[in-house]
Amino acid sequence: MRAELEEKRAELQAERADLSASTGETGGISFGKRVGEGTSFAVERLSQVAAHDRLGAMQAEVVRALAKLDEGTYGRCDVCAEPIAADRLEARPWSIRCIRHAG
């Protein structure tokens, strides 16, 4: 389980690095001369930023799940301490909250 989570963490790290590289640090949303062009660029950039945020949030969960392994609370909800459903853990081994407290 730990190895699986650590692998996932590394994978997310790599994906985020890729996204950062493709969006670039020079950044800023610039609108081109042709409105359509600028808009689609802006939309694409916004979706990349959203993807980056999503990956970051997921990575934080993976890190927390690893900490829960150390604490011995892995598989239990961080909010109510009830066991997390097995099928939920199977789909997302880094789940740190039950279905009621997810999101």
Using the contact rule CB under 5 A, the part of the chain among 13-21, 53-61, 65-73, 75-83 near Zn ion is 75-83
Which residues partner with 83 through β-bridges? 76
* Three-state DSSP string of 18-42: HHHHHHCCCCCCCCCCCHHHHHHHH
Please tell me whether residue 77 binds Zn ion under the rule CB under 5 A: yes
**Which of 14, 43, 46, 80 touches Zn ion by CB under 5 A?**
80
The count of chain residues that interact with Zn ion, using the rule CB under 5 A, is 5
Please tell me whether residue 79 binds Zn ion under the rule CB under 5 A: yes
Using the contact rule CB under 5 A, the part of the chain among 19-27, 32-40, 46-54, 94-102 near Zn ion is 94-102
Nearest CA to 96 out of 83, 53, 50, 52 is that of 83
CA 31 to chain centre: 29
Tell me if 38 sits within 8 A of 95, measured CB to CB. no
Please tell me whether residue 102 binds Zn ion under the rule CB under 5 A: no
- Site residues for Zn ion per CB under 5 A: 77, 79-80, 98, 101
